[in-house]
A and B are shown apart, each in its own frame.
Chain A
Amino acid sequence: MSNYDLIVVGGGPGGSAAAKEAADAGLKVIILERGRFCGEKNSSGFGLSPKAARDFDYIKNVDVPSLWPTKFGVMHILQPKPSNADRMTWGLTPPKRNSYPEASEYMVQMMYRPEFDQWMADVATKAGAELKLTTLAINVIWEGKNVAGVVDGKGNTYRAPVVIAADGAHSLIAQKAGLRKKWDKDQITVLSTIDFEADPERIAEYCGDTNVHIFMGPDRGGYVTIFRDGFHVGSRPAKTLQTEVDANRNLCTRSVIDNVQLDFTQRLIKATRAKPREFQLHFLPWLKTFNERIYTGGLMLTGDAAGVPEPFMAEGVWQAMYSSRLAARVAVRAHRDNDFSKAYFKQYMNELKISPVGIDFTSGTVLRDFFSEWTSQTFYALFDNLADAMFYSMLTMAEPHAQGMLRIPGILADMTPQLLFMARYYLPIAEEASRDKITGFLGGIKSMAPMLQNMMKATEGEK
């Protein structure tokens, strides 16, 4: 039996962020990781958002071999099946108006998870945390109504007044502590990815700074993310397991294989001499409401185990790091106050809910079904019309300019229902944001919201 001040279950970015914070504050911390190395069980590729650099000083020093900053992204609006061609593409670059500098410098930093997770574990161990690999925590130890430690698969016991469970979506600790038996089918999405290995020089030449590609079409969606020496082709998100059961077919694996066949992906494969290297399935919480059952006496759940991934863009690493650091701070306070009760740890949930993670989550829930919608006919028609109005009608060399220009008002009028449909997603977010800071613009939107929302009811049929 070993005694600690804090046990962290799971050596992902969340677990390591918690361990670093607690070790810096002087706690005796151990991380238990079931993999033979950190990141061994993590799939689906990842881009670390600039938020992580904003909130964690040490992230500015990240340096791993696959690191590939991404300045530009491209949105591919695809033709309907069976075509594999783009109808149009839009380039995306970070906006100039941002609340912090990193957000204008890059969109995400692409890295492979084993590299990043091990880098993060080094940050934690350098701060003084102990890391125990190849150790699967399978049960909790109770002391009265409080969790007071964990047991691993070999029967070893680890005791501490506080346990932080950062053990992923299928958290055994959450189950054993009675916080949930399983997620609902409609709370989980599975992303399927295929990793390709590719020639780094050809990637640099062919892709440059443009390393995120998002696919959107009337009947499909997905993404490609590019690393220094390979890339991921990903499936269409936002189809929950419930959707798959209802559709009676596996949508995520079908989607990723469709996305490999796209003209863009095939060109990328050819240009970078790429070969498929790894097939991955990523089980991801995709919640409709903030999960409040994330604490009990002596225990806090963080990251995917808590269900905090933002349910719009499916970002989860920054959320895991942020929620875990918050939990570690509460753990430090609990030691100071010598109170490890369930009532005490409620402050973790309350603080998380009003933190940037909680606020972003709430906005995400409003947009949750956006990814399903954007692979709908409505969105396709919207972009198709927008392109016709903004570009083809003006830039055409096929007919006299005046004739092209004259078509624009008619196209815009046709688009009214589609624009209102977009507004249906935009307005609740604007309202949410304005709760914090009512600017003149958002205030105006807010006062118009009820009126516009009434107007939008007429467009329900469009969906």
Chain B
Amino acid sequence: MEKLIIEKRELVTVIESPVDFISVDHEKCVGCKNCVIVCGMNLWKIRDGKAVIEMDYKKFCTECASCYTVCDYDAIEFTFPPAGYGVVYQRG
């Protein structure tokens, strides 16, 4: 059978938050990559030994909080986008 390609980013509806809701403290970050591994939307990268989140993460982040949870150095802060913004699950 023909293989079906899943484009994750085309399959999420996100109302882009006007403010940041994830931040990373580069003083604390050791570049361990935990956040890169667990992000289901592939939004994290390591650049110069530090974790960086994609510029337009607010268009794709589904607010799962995995990056915050796996950060052993408390370098990642995560809240939620302001009410009315962020991911929209119509068929959750």
Interface residues of A (CB under 8 A from B): 34-36, 39-46, 112-114, 134-136, 138, 152-154, 169-170, 172, 182-183, 185, 188, 190, 192, 194-195, 197, 230, 241, 244-245, 248-250, 252-253, 257, 260-261, 263, 266-267, 269-270, 276-283
A253 to chain B, nearest CB (A): 5
| Closest B residue to A194 using CB positions | B6
A37 to chain B, nearest CB (A): 9
Contact across chains for B91 and A230 when beta carbons are under 8 A apart = yes
Contacts of B23 in A (CB 8 A): none
Within 8 A of A (CB), among B40-92: 40-41, 62-66, 68-70, 78-80, 82-84, 86-92
Going nearest first, the 5 A-B pairs with the smallest beta carbon separation are A279-B11, A113-B92, A170-B65, A136-B83, A283-B64
Interface bin, chain B: 35 or more
Interface residues of B (CB under 8 A from A): 1, 3-4, 6, 8, 11-13, 33-34, 37-41, 62-66, 68-70, 78-80, 82-84, 86-92
Main secondary structure of the interface of B (DSSP, over half): loop
Contact across chains for B83 and A277 when beta carbons are under 8 A apart = no
Contact across chains for B40 and A41 when beta carbons are under 8 A apart = no
Contacts of B4 in A (CB 8 A): 260-261, 266, 269, 276
Contact across chains for A261 and B3 when beta carbons are under 8 A apart = yes
Contacts of B66 in A (CB 8 A): 188, 190, 241, 281, 283
Contact across chains for B84 and A134 when beta carbons are under 8 A apart = yes
Contacts of B92 in A (CB 8 A): 39, 41-46, 112-114, 278, 280
| Closest A residue to B1 using CB positions | A266
B85 to chain A, nearest CB (A): 9
Pick from A182, A248, A261, A280: contact of B37, CB under 8 Å: A248
Contact across chains for A114 and B89 when beta carbons are under 8 A apart = yes
Contacts of B91 in A (CB 8 A): 45, 112, 114, 195, 197, 230, 277-278
Contact across chains for A278 and B37 when beta carbons are under 8 A apart = no
Kindly name the residue among B3, B12, B62, B64 whose own CB sees the greatest number of chain A CB atoms within 10 A: B64
Contacts of A248 in B (CB 8 A): 33, 37
Contacts of A278 in B (CB 8 A): 11-13, 89-92
A248 to chain B, nearest CB (A): 6
Seed contacts A241-B69, A249-B37, A261-B4; 5 additional CB < 8 Å A-B pairs? A35-B83, A41-B86, A245-B37, A261-B3, A281-B40
- Within the assembled complex, what's the spacing in Å between the Cα atoms of A34 and B87? 11
A370 to chain B, nearest CB (A): 23
| Closest B residue to A39 using CB positions | B92
23 CB-based A-B contacts, threshold 8 Å: A35-B83, A39-B92, A40-B89, A41-B92, A45-B91, A114-B89, A114-B90, A114-B92, A182-B68, A183-B69, A190-B64, A192-B40, A241-B66, A244-B38, A266-B4, A276-B6, A278-B11, A278-B90, A278-B92, A279-B11, A280-B92, A281-B41, A283-B65
